[in-house]
Amino acid sequence: MVIAEDGVCDARSGALGIGGFYGSLQWARTRDAMPGQAHHAFSVKQRAYVAILLVLGAVIAFLAVRTWSPASALSQPAPAANATPTARSAR
């Protein structure tokens, strides 16, 4: 008896064309094709989702990097705690 899982990985057909990022997307087109289609144009929904995520990442990364710089951090006032403890009235 052979315990096989044919079709499990579903990646046995279709031509890649060339390697690399573009090639992998070409392959993905063939894999995402509906039955009977040779290729599949990625849906607007899928493209939009990817685009939104990429733009979102860029915006967040830009904002995060902008929130801090060495100059701004080092120009912050010295911690008050560096001062000497004083009278009980300070409590």
Contact residues for other proteins (CB under 8 A)?
1-21, 23-25, 27-32, 42, 46, 49-50, 53-54, 56-57, 60-62, 64-65, 67-70, 73-74, 76-91
For residue 3, what are the contacts with CB-CB under 8 A and spacing of at least 6?
Answer: none
Q: Whose Cβ is closer to other proteins: residue 17's or residue 37's? A: 17
Distance CA 77, CA 82 (A): 11
Q: How far apart are the first and last CA of the chain?
A: 81
Give, as one character, the DSSP assignment of residue 66. H
Q: Whose Cβ is closer to other proteins: residue 13's or residue 38's? A: 13
Q: From the CB of 72, what's the least distance to other proteins, in Å?
A: 10
